[in-house]
Amino acid sequence: MIGAALAAKAAGAGARAIAAALGRPVETVRGWLRRFAGRAEQVRIRFTVLLVDTGVDPVPPAPAATPFADAVAAVVGASVAAASRWPDIGEVSPWRLACAVSRGHLLAPSWP
C-alpha cells in the first residue's frame, strides 16, 4: 500500500487523492510521502547502485520530473534489474524488493 502511494505521488497525485484511493487517513499518507521525500536522494543513489550492480545489462532510469520521482524510478529499475538477473525466482514487486533492501526500514527514522 505504501509503495502504491509513493508511485502515485511520483506520477503527480496529491496526498488527499492518494489517501482517498487507498482508503487511508490523509495524515498517514502525508507522513509516508514526507518521510520518503526527505530521503529521496539517498534512496535514488542506493537503488541505482543496486540496479547497476545487479542487472544483466543495466539501464539506469532517465531523469524524472522531481527527485521524488527519480527515487521511485530507481526502486522500480532495481526491481527490473533483479528480475533480469534471477528470472526463476518469480515476480517480486518493486516495493517488496525495497523492503528487503532496507530491511523493512525504508520509511523508518533510522534508514538509510
Residue 100 CB contacts under 8 Å (≥ 6 apart), including other chains: none
pLDDT digits (tens, 9 = 90+) for 58-107: 877 888 889 999 999 999 999 989 888 888 777 788 999 899 888 888 88
The residue length of the chain stands at 112
CA dist list (Å): 31 to 53, 85, 98, 112? 31, 34, 18, 17
DSSP-derived 3-state class of residue 81: helix
pLDDT bin (cut points 50, 70, 90) of residue 10 is very high
Over residues 31-56, the pLDDT tens digits come to 999 999 999 999 999 999 999 998 88
And the C-alpha cell for 69? 520521482
d(CA 110, CA 26): 24
Q: Kindly report the pTM of this predicted structure.
A: 0.89
Enter the C-alpha cell of residue 25.
487517513
What whole-number distance in Å separates Cα of residue 83 and Cα of residue 41? 24
Give Cα separations from 10 to 3, 16, 20, 85 (angstroms): 10, 14, 17, 26
